[in-house]
A and B are shown apart, each in its own frame.
Chain A
Amino acid sequence: MPPLARILFVAWFVAAAAGCEPSAPPPPAPDTRTPLEYFFDTQGATVTPNGRILLDTATERDGKIEYSTEDGKRWSVTYSRLADGTYQYGTPEELTPVEATREKTTSEDISNEEQASDEEVP
């Protein structure tokens, strides 16, 4: 073996022994979506025994996702974040009409209601 090749071989051997082997492909980046974003992205096609999930009604409140289903019922579900950044959901609780209307505190809801009441005035 020529001296240069011998040096390169020794250098490669030392480097490999020191842990400088070509590394495995990096793990996939963890999912950084928020709970609500993840819910929007994954539940669009879900059909439940209460019908489809109406995604435009989904909100996050008190660490739970709230949403309505096609049958008009409103639900609140807990979630837990898994190691890969995805989410797992618990068994949803049905919200009573009083609990369901309590969510109407966003400025959008209030302004919509004000607009509706304005329109009713002759």
Chain B
Amino acid sequence: MVDDALRELPAVWYGQLRTLPSRARDEIKRYFHGKCLNVAGFVSHICSNEFAEWLHRCATEDERQLCFLQAFCARVATEVEILHWLETIAEEIGAALDDAWAAYCTELSQKWNSHIQVYDGPNLSADELTHRLSEFILTELREAACLAKSGSQRPAAGESIGKIGVTAILLLLVGLLGPEGAALAIPIFVVLAAKHVWDYVMSRLDDRGSESQNAISSRLALLGNRVGSEFEREVRQRITDLHIWQERSIRAAAAQVARERIGLI
């Protein structure tokens, strides 16, 4: 039963890993493309004397970087908007994953029924099999969500475990930056990608001419590319984790079904 189940799965997984992460990357790049069209206000702000004075008042490097992220979220894209966009992409990709999984479960129930029938066992409906496999995967998802939670980080999915595909993608980590109560909740991969822009801005603090504005605008475009690449990597990792849980669920369900339907064998 397990051999039957796993024979065609690698092809499905390969197709998903080939198309879905790159789709996620292109979507997040498109989002940043739109932000680049409205970036003039942000660029002139971080090139202003006011922003430089604000930075000088920060005591530590972390505080300065937080200032930069706050300015970015206030003038380019709010953290709520970024998370909302990620959720929209995750829903789209999650739906594709769930649809493929449901179709696969329907096929699998037919294959397994051919084994069960030999032993006069009652048939296994597609819905029942999907439900059993989903329960196994949901347990894995809950454990992964618990493990991901730490002091200043949490999974983007939050506490709720809803549809499997979306939740699996939204296990990507969100960092809580800044003082409690007024912290910015930004995906870690965005913070990592923004660091490159931030380092550049810091290196040009004393040179804030118009050329500098153009250069910062270019760096923001690179930020879109970096965020896209980081998001692609994250989505690939999340889909790979899901595939591992799917395989485990199949092995566990096969053992369970064999015990119930084939009995002594």
**A interface, CB within 8 angstroms of B:** 42-43, 45-51, 75, 77, 88-92, 94
Contact = CB atoms under 8 A, between A and B. Distances in A.
B126 interface: no
A89 B31 CA distance: 11
B38 A49 contact: no
Contact of A94 (B30, B37, B218, B221): B30
Nearest to B32: A49
Contacts of B225: 49
A43 to B, nearest CB: 7
B262 interface: no
A17 B41 CA distance: 41
B31 A46 contact: no
Contact of B228 (A43, A47, A49): A49
**3 closest A-B pairs by CB:** A49-B224, A91-B34, A47-B221
Interface residues of B, number: 21
B214 A45 contact: yes
Given A42-B40, A46-B37, 20 more contacts: A43-B37, A45-B213, A46-B39, A47-B36, A47-B218, A47-B220, A47-B221, A48-B32, A48-B224, A49-B29, A49-B32, A49-B221, A49-B224, A49-B225, A49-B228, A89-B34, A90-B34, A92-B30, A92-B33, A92-B34
B65 interface: no
Contacts of B29: 49-50
Q: Please classify the interface of chain B as helix (H, G, I), strand (E, B), loop, or mixed, using the class held by over half of its residues.
A: helix
B87 to A, nearest CB: 15
A50 B29 CA distance: 8
A48 B31 contact: no
B32, B37, B214, B228 interface centre (most CB from chain A within 10 Å):
B37
B33 A50 contact: yes
A49 B214 contact: no
B217 interface: yes
Contact of B30 (A45, A88, A91): A91
Interface in B235-252: none
A106 B38 CA distance: 29
B84 to A, nearest CB: 12
Given A91-B31, A92-B30, A94-B30, A48 B221 contact: yes
Interface in B41-94: none
A104 B36 CA distance: 27
B230 to A, nearest CB: 13
Contacts of B40: 42
